[in-house]
Amino acid sequence: MTDEVLTDREGAIMVITLNRPQARNAVNGALARALAAAVDELDSDPALSVGIITGAGGTFCSGMDLKGFLTGDIPTVEGRGFAGITMAQPEKPVIAAVEGYALAGGCEIALACDLLTASREARFGLPETKRALVAGAGGLFRLPQRIPRTIAMEYALTGEFFSAEDAHRWGLVNRLTDPGEALTAALELGRRITEAGPLAVRATKKIVRDNADWPAEERWARQEELMRPVMTSADAREGAAAFAEKRSPVWTGK
């Protein structure tokens, strides 16, 4: 892993820190490749169940590194999109822990995550239109899915910022915190997820994430295809046994 992205482990949780504080964690090519590598590690390691993405230096991410872009440093990964995550999301749940600004591509990274915690002082936005640009890393797809459509349209068209408190009220932010506490809240939320069976968590995320694109006549069959391996797993038997024996389950991911 390069210095642009730092990783740490808290039990079954991987904390991924965007680490370019001198540039407000703006995404360059090296950061994009490092974030993609961290996501690959998260998904491939059976000891990990949840990822958290946060930013160093009191801000989440200010978007694309425009200085780098002007020199030909493209902050995308082929097949993975901007920052190595916006087109190909992890299979395991990921929480964005937002302090400071999550703007432009930084907001799109946060929207590519499944859950969000944010400081009351955090600010979100897709300001691309103010620079005659278009938010092309998924923000225009995902923001209307996460907050009311007309509100998403207003902020996408004007390029203005919106507050974490508004984002919480609209349902985008799961946990609103005091300044400096977004990562703590994300870890608490992540630990609650790790108490559930990892196979069931991955299948559940995929069903929730993808079902809107399934044809109505295929919805039940596609859900069954994802459920069947989970329902016949050793973990499913362990969950039932732990309940009957009034003890905590011990998951193996099998």
Which residue among the candidates 99, 108, 121, 181 is catalytic per the annotation?
108
Q: Is the dihedral of CA 23, 25, 28, 31 positive or negative?
A: positive
**Residue 108 annotated as catalytic:** yes
Give the SS3 label for residue 189: helix
**Residue 128 annotated as catalytic:** yes
Amino acid at the residue 59 = T
- Tokens representing residue 90 in the block: 């992890």
How many other β-carbons are positioned within 10 Å of the β-carbon of residue 131? 10
Specify the DSSP element, H or E, that contains 169: helix 164-170
Angle between helical axes of 234-244 and 198-210 (0-180°, round to 10)? 110
Which residue among the candidates 4, 99, 121, 128 is catalytic per the annotation?
128
Instruction: Please check whether residue 251 is in contact with residue 227, taking contact to mean a CB–CB distance below 8 angstroms.
Output: no
Write phi, then psi, for 198 (nearest 5 degrees).
-65, -35
Specify the DSSP element, H or E, that contains 17: strand 13-18
φ/ψ region of 149 (left if φ > 0, alpha if ψ in -120 to 50, else beta) reads alpha
Instruction: Please check whether residue 138 is in contact with residue 86, taking contact to mean a CB–CB distance below 8 angstroms.
Output: yes
Query: Which residues face 176 on adjacent strands?
Result: 118
Give the SS3 label for residue 125: strand
Q: Provide the annotated active-site residues.
A: 108, 128
